[in-house]
Structure 1
């Protein structure tokens, strides 16, 4: 994907001067970032840089020490996870977390519970059209899916909730390249239809290939930000990843 040279005018998510701590240890230090309507934004950084903590703070999964999170004009700084979902933010957590003892279809219906406590079956057809591999396995137990299929199910469970912003936290973990490409291609397709995507990823080349804009996080701070093409060419990105060699990640395992 060719990076946009101008960001969309409408700011959807605004994170300002975010501080997050675990006990007395502060791990995010005054971080600020934006995601604009219909934009695909990637957050890059080494393990332990604080990327996932930022996503958890946005989603209300961990408390903020200070700072603000505003989404579509609504202050979500003190919002619960459920309030965040109802506002239009859905996070797909790292590690293909699905309900192993439920069927594929029941897992998907759980993704609609925030707005429809008994589930909304009307959303299934659209999701099955996006993920035909799940339609073929709709009655299969999630525990019988491969790791890649479980990750696709987790993404689909996020999509079916009709978010305005979908956060994908390290979706590539331990998966074969063909599965990673499938997930990122669907994310790009959703973005083209108007859904904003916020992706946390270790696979630099793959992530930048799909994203419009990117942030580089180092020790809980924004070290750099730019359009994806320019960010990928920067010396700082090369230095942060493996001491001068960005992690291409093409050797991910199944």
Structure 2
């Protein structure tokens, strides 16, 4: 992608603040994601990245600020309604239903998207992730950690999101599995899906992303195209704590 962002934002986040009790962890973050764009948020653990994602997805309330998607204000919307609008978040930590089969886990991903039990979408997921097709009748509890994360991503994709949010997909996984997930995300992005990624593996994230936000203690310290982020020293200061 050339160094020019598409014109109209798909997702608009403006001055969002998030607090747990009296402790504010997101201090007025603003950011955009556009259709067909792969955006990454980088920052040290505890910087507020996941809290911002949860606010976008309706999993935690915003103290102040607005989130708009395709021009619609999502303030106060339930997570289910946000999924129906086209935003699906794959949570950190291989969140799958261990007592269900791989295929039943995938079918659960169709429910909130108003396509209950739509088996027609399974073929596309199995095409993207053949390892899931091979294990479709296995219990999710029998999958490896990497396979469970792939299943979680497949569960998100089967709902046909316009914006797929990935929160730390690399957590505890082999580099090969991480590359597999990010390669698929890049392919989907080229087909028009927007991707918003939070990731600690900086080089892998920058290899796939178009645009990046550096988050430091609940605020955006910088934003730029990824090649510009690589060239500056702010990335080292924000992410690695350099000087």
Q: Which TM-score band (shorter chain)?
A: over 0.9
8 Å contact kept, 1:42–1:200: yes
- 1:165 lines up with 2:163 in the alignment: yes
Partner Cα distance (1:118, 1:85) in 2: 14
Number of the residue aligned with 2:132 = 134
Number of the residue aligned with 1:188 = 186
- Among residues 196, 218, 237, which one is paired with 1:220 in the alignment? 218
Number of the residue aligned with 1:175 = 173
8 Å contact kept, 2:88–2:161: yes
Partner Cα distance (1:70, 1:200) in 2: 20
Structure 2 gaps of 5+ residues are none
- Displaced runs of 4 or more, over 6 A: none
1:116 Cα deviation after fit:
3.7
Q: RMSD of the alignment, in Å?
A: 1.1
1:117 Cα deviation after fit:
6.5
- Among residues 204, 207, 217, which one is paired with 1:206 in the alignment? 204
Number of the residue aligned with 1:250 = none
Structure 1 gaps of 5+ residues are 246-254
SS at match of 2:164: strand
- 1:41 lines up with 2:39 in the alignment: yes
8 Å contact kept, 1:12–1:71: yes
**Pair 87,116 (structure 1): closer, same or farther in 2 beyond 3 Å:** closer
Taking the TM superposition and a 5 Å limit, the aligned residue runs for 1:90-105 are 90-105=88-103
1:233 Cα deviation after fit:
2.0
8 Å contact kept, 1:4–1:227: no
Partner Cα distance (1:243, 1:116) in 2: 45
Taking the TM superposition and a 5 Å limit, the aligned residue runs for 1:42-61 are 42-61=40-59
1:232 Cα deviation after fit:
1.9
SS at match of 1:119: coil
Number of the residue aligned with 1:249 = none
Partner Cα distance (1:58, 1:115) in 2: 17
- Among residues 65, 87, 96, which one is paired with 2:63 in the alignment? 65
